[in-house]
Structure 1
Amino acid sequence: MTLLQDTISPLLDVTPEERAERLGAAGAAWNDRIAADPRNAQLTYTVTGRGVGSVGTEIRAGKHRFLVDEPAGLAGDDAAPSPVEYALGALVSCQVVVFRLYAQALGLTIDDIEITAEGDLDVRKLFGIDESGRAGFHDVRVRVDVTGPNTVEEYEKLRAVVEEHCPVLDLFANSVPVSGSLA
């Protein structure tokens, strides 16, 4: 990821005990907030982008800024990952979060997790060559490599729970109403 900040703040690795404590505390805090007022479960995220370079975009998401671009073959400067690569990255990172969250909730241990998402895209619609297909991915494959002391069956059950609860997987798997306007 290409950050536009002066320094990159690396994520520090935490011990399994620290991770368990943080996940438990976050879950308890959200349960308390939602129990106090169900409206607290409703979140709105806002991200803003500004065109830069040939077809690049500077994205602002809260206090974070990052760059999105296209490879040279798609008119970009290849200065950062493309929008569809970020989409796959969002899927992968959301899966990591939800795997860790539900492993903790189910009493399972994840020593290491690595997820790969691969998506197939046909650019004919993007370029107006053929309007019959999809503009986006027509197939996405997700491979999860988990290591830990639990059985394969327990990790398969965890995977099924994650697939039911992952917000970004839900975006890929289901139609979401989107409205647009020109300001």
Structure 2
Amino acid sequence: MTLIQDQSSPIADVSAQARAERLTAAGTAWNERIAADSRAAQLTYSVTGRGIGAVGTEIRAGKHRFLVDEPGALAGDDAAASPVEYALGALVSCQVVVFRLYAQALGLTIDEIEITAEGDLDVRKLFGIDESGRAGFHDVRVKVDITGPDSAEQYENLRQVVDAHCPVLDLFANPVPTSGALA
């Protein structure tokens, strides 16, 4: 990710114990919050983008800022990852979070986790050459590499649980009602 400003607190590696404590505390807090008021389960995210350069975008998400661009072959300056690369990155990062969350809940240990997502995209619709296909990915493959002391069967069960609960995978796998309007 290309940052526009330095982040005040970079992500530091944490011990397995510290991770477990944070995951447990977060799960407990959310369960209590939602039990007290079910409306607390509803979150709204807002992200704003401003066009820069040839086809680049400066994104603001809360206190965070980052750039999105395209490679030169797609009219960009190649100053940052492309929108579809960020989409795959969002999928990978959400999977990491949910793997950690459910490993903790199921009493499994993840020593290391690395996830790769690949997506196939046909640019004919993007460029108006053929309107019959999809503009987005027509196939996405996610490869999860986990090391730890638990059995392959337990990690496969974990993968199935994660796939059922990962918000960004859900965005990829299911249509989401989306509307647009000029301001």
Instruction: Classify the TM-score, shorter chain.
Output: over 0.9
Question: Which residue number corresponds to residue 57 of structure 2?
Answer: 57
Superimposed CA distance per residue, residues 127-163 of structure 1 (whole angstroms, 9 cap, x where no aligned partner): 0000000000000000000000000000000000000
User: How far apart in 1 are the matches of 2:9 and 2:67?
Assistant: 16
User: How far apart in 1 are the matches of 2:166 and 2:104?
Assistant: 15
Count residues with an aligned counterpart: 183
CA RMSD of aligned residues (A): 0.8
User: How far apart in 2 are the matches of 1:123 and 1:68?
Assistant: 18
Question: Which residue number corresponds to residue 109 of structure 1?
Answer: 109
Question: Which residue number corresponds to residue 147 of structure 1?
Answer: 147
Question: Which residue number corresponds to residue 73 of structure 1?
Answer: 73
Question: Which residue number corresponds to residue 29 of structure 2?
Answer: 29
User: How far apart in 2 are the matches of 1:79 and 1:158?
Assistant: 37
Question: Which residue number corresponds to residue 84 of structure 2?
Answer: 84
**Distance change in 2, residues 1:101/1:6 (3 Å):** closer
User: How far apart in 2 are the matches of 1:31 and 1:62?
Assistant: 24
Report how far residue 6 of structure 1 moved: 3.7
- Report the secondary structure of 2:48's partner residue: strand
User: How far apart in 2 are the matches of 1:94 and 1:33?
Assistant: 22
- Report the secondary structure of 1:180's partner residue: coil
Matched, 1:99 2:99: yes
Question: Which residue number corresponds to residue 19 of structure 1?
Answer: 19
User: How far apart in 2 are the matches of 1:149 and 1:104?
Assistant: 14
User: How far apart in 2 are the matches of 1:99 and 1:154?
Assistant: 12
Alignment of 1:161-180 (within 5 A): 161-180=161-180
Matched, 1:158 2:158: yes
- Report the secondary structure of 1:109's partner residue: coil
Unmatched 5+ stretches in structure 2: none
Instruction: Tell me which amino acid in the other structure corresponds to 1:22.
Output: R
User: How far apart in 2 are the matches of 1:39 and 1:20?
Assistant: 27
User: How far apart in 2 are the matches of 1:158 and 1:6?
Assistant: 35
Unmatched 5+ stretches in structure 1: none
Instruction: Tell me which amino acid in the other structure corresponds to 2:96.
Output: V
User: How far apart in 1 are the matches of 2:7 and 2:175?
Assistant: 38
User: How far apart in 1 are the matches of 2:12 and 2:73?
Assistant: 36
Q: TM-score, normalised to structure 1's length? A: 0.99
Superimposed CA distance per residue, residues 12-56 of structure 1 (whole angstroms, 9 cap, x where no aligned partner): 000000000000000000000000000000000000000000000
User: How far apart in 1 are the matches of 2:67 and 2:36?
Assistant: 39
**Distance change in 2, residues 1:56/1:27 (3 Å):** same
Report how far residue 9 of structure 1 moved: 4.2
**Runs of 4+ more than 6 Å apart:** none
Report how far residue 10 of structure 1 moved: 2.6
Instruction: Tell me which amino acid in the other structure corresponds to 2:172.
Output: F
